[in-house]
Amino acid sequence: MKRVLGAVLLSISAWAQAPVAADDEKRELAAAVQEANTSGFDIIRALESHLRRYPNTALRTEIFNLLAKAAVEANDNVRIIRYGEPALTALPNDVGLLDQVSRALLDTGGKDNAARALGYAKRFEDYVIRVPVPTGYDPVKNQEDHDRALARALLYQSRAHRILGEFDEARRTAALAYISYPDAPSARAWSEALDLQGKHQEAIDRLADAFAIPDPRATAEERTADRKQLGEMYRKLHSGAETGLGDAILAAYDRTSETMAKRTSQLRRLDPNLGVTDPMDFTLAALDGSKLDLKTLRGKVLIFDFWATWCVPCRAQHPLYEELKKRFRERDDVVFLAVNTDEDHGLVEPFLAEQHWSTHVFFDNGLVRQLLVTSIPTTIIADKQGRLVSRMNGFNGDKFVDQLAARIQAALDAPGGEK
């Protein structure tokens, strides 16, 4: 609810700066929302009360949008539909509302709701397809978010088609959802549609996929329900016996394992560090597009300088790193690595040119997450065996050079570090 409150307060603040509503109305609305504090239900009541008092408010569309999103947080399907649908008339590309309104309509049930959900789900799918997947920071997460959204849009369509009795379309869209993002819900929906078409053996195979696929979001209760349903479907098709069901589940395990291995291979093209657990096995992309495999630096002491273009202390720290590089310039077993952590990689090259810094810079490519870097700047030292031996969070200008030099020397002097 705090996230919704923050959005409301930001919107109210923006409206207060624009001549879109009477001053009295703006003050009254801001006061009511502030009084609601962090209670999402109170926010809803405050906004609804405002609409009753000002039914012709110029802020009506924005308030409907905020009410729908607050209703999502409150898990209130009635209000998601009540406010989300008119908000989507004014804001047709609000992908979050397209997602949640589709779901709420389907959860509410009924053919009329299913028909409306189908329309929103198709718009949701169209939006996801049209908008490019963000590149740069965390490309695997960006791709995963995109694929999951596309699968949700298709699953909503499958559910709607099933309610409307359009079983072939329900099967087709569920299959497309599984192709977009193979997981238990899409395999389960595919199975249900096949079963409704009388394709019982195929339905069993797809439900076995739902049971066997390594889906971290699947709960123990869902897997138990899948196993129970598998048994019932299999016995019905095989004269009351489960003989051979174990083989079917093993086949599903092999099938889904191959599917997930192919997906991991595709994602690894976006991020060569996917699944890598040892930081010293990471590959970092350089500003010039080349790659650095950290394994090639085994036998050297590595100093990771995690910085960002927005980080003011990083600018003060930069010349101190240059001083340290001069101190160790005779040591070919000491390597300084400037690792940029900006989400927008496009900011880096212009920044380097403006600051007259070296362009010998690498992007973190997930190393920040692997090393649990939570503040910028951070300096981490790895010894010649690839062990992390020092971490300096933040910036202490008076002592930085001497402290870091001493830690580098300690790593060099450690057993196995001499040269």
**ω before 185 within 30° of 0 (cis)?**
no
Same domain, 173 and 232: no
Same domain, 174 and 322: no
In a domain, 84, yes or no: yes
Question: Angle 200-203-207 (CA atoms, 0-180°, nearest 5)?
Answer: 140
Domain with residue 289: its CATH number is 3.40.30.10
Same domain, 62 and 146: yes
Same domain, 173 and 36: yes
Instruction: Provide the domain limits for residue 367.
Output: 279-413
Q: Where a domain ends, among 223, 251, 271?
A: 271
Instruction: Give the end-to-end CA distance of the chain in Å, rounded to a whole number.
Output: 58
The per-residue pLDDT for 54 is: 87
Contact 297, 287 (CB under 8 A): no
In a domain, 59, yes or no: yes
Q: Up-side HSE of residue 250: CA atoms within 13 Å toward CB?
A: 4
Same domain, 34 and 181: yes
β pairing state of 334-340 and 361-363: parallel
The per-residue pLDDT for 198 is: 96
Q: Where a domain ends, among 248, 271, 294?
A: 271
Same domain, 199 and 181: no
In a domain, 198, yes or no: yes
The per-residue pLDDT for 16 is: 47
Which amino acid does the sequence have at 63? I
In a domain, 292, yes or no: yes
The per-residue pLDDT for 20 is: 47
In a domain, 418, yes or no: no
Instruction: Give the integer Cα–Cα distance in Å for 404 and 383.
Output: 13
Same domain, 223 and 186: no
Contact 360, 337 (CB under 8 A): no
Same domain, 175 and 65: yes
Same domain, 350 and 286: yes
Domain with residue 129: its CATH number is 1.25.40.10
How many domains does the chain contain in total? 3
What are φ and ψ of residue 87, in 5° steps? Answer: -65, -35
Beta-carbon contacts of residue 390 (< 8 Å; ≥ 6 apart): 379, 380, 381, 407, 410, 411
In a domain, 419, yes or no: no
In a domain, 125, yes or no: yes
Encoded tokens for 37: 């504090």
CA 110 vs CA 39, 78, 217, 278: distances in Å: 32, 14, 28, 52
Q: Where a domain ends, among 192, 215, 240?
A: 192
Same domain, 27 and 141: yes
Handedness of CA 201, 203, 204, 209 (dihedral sign): positive
In a domain, 367, yes or no: yes
The per-residue pLDDT for 38 is: 61
Instruction: Give the integer Cα–Cα distance in Å for 228 and 77.
Output: 30
Residue by residue, pLDDT tens for the chain (419 residues) are 445 445 555 555 555 454 444 567 777 777 777 776 666 788 888 888 888 888 888 888 888 988 898 898 889 999 999 999 999 999 899 999 999 999 999 999 999 999 999 999 999 999 999 999 987 778 888 999 999 999 999 999 999 999 999 999 999 999 999 999 999 999 999 999 999 999 999 999 999 999 999 999 999 999 999 999 999 999 999 999 999 999 999 999 999 999 999 999 999 888 888 888 899 999 999 999 899 999 999 999 999 999 999 999 999 999 999 999 999 999 999 999 999 999 888 999 999 999 999 999 999 888 998 999 999 999 999 999 999 999 999 888 788 999 999 999 999 998 765 55
Q: How far is CA 269 from the centre of its chain?
A: 18
Same domain, 161 and 40: yes
Task: Mark 362-401 as b/e (b = at least 16 C-beta within 10 Å).
Answer: bbbbbbbebbebeebbbbbbbbbebeebbebeebeeeebb
Which H or E run contains 8?
A: helix 2-17
Same domain, 151 and 286: no
Instruction: Give the integer Cα–Cα distance in Å for 62 and 86.
Output: 11
Name the pTM for this structure.
0.77
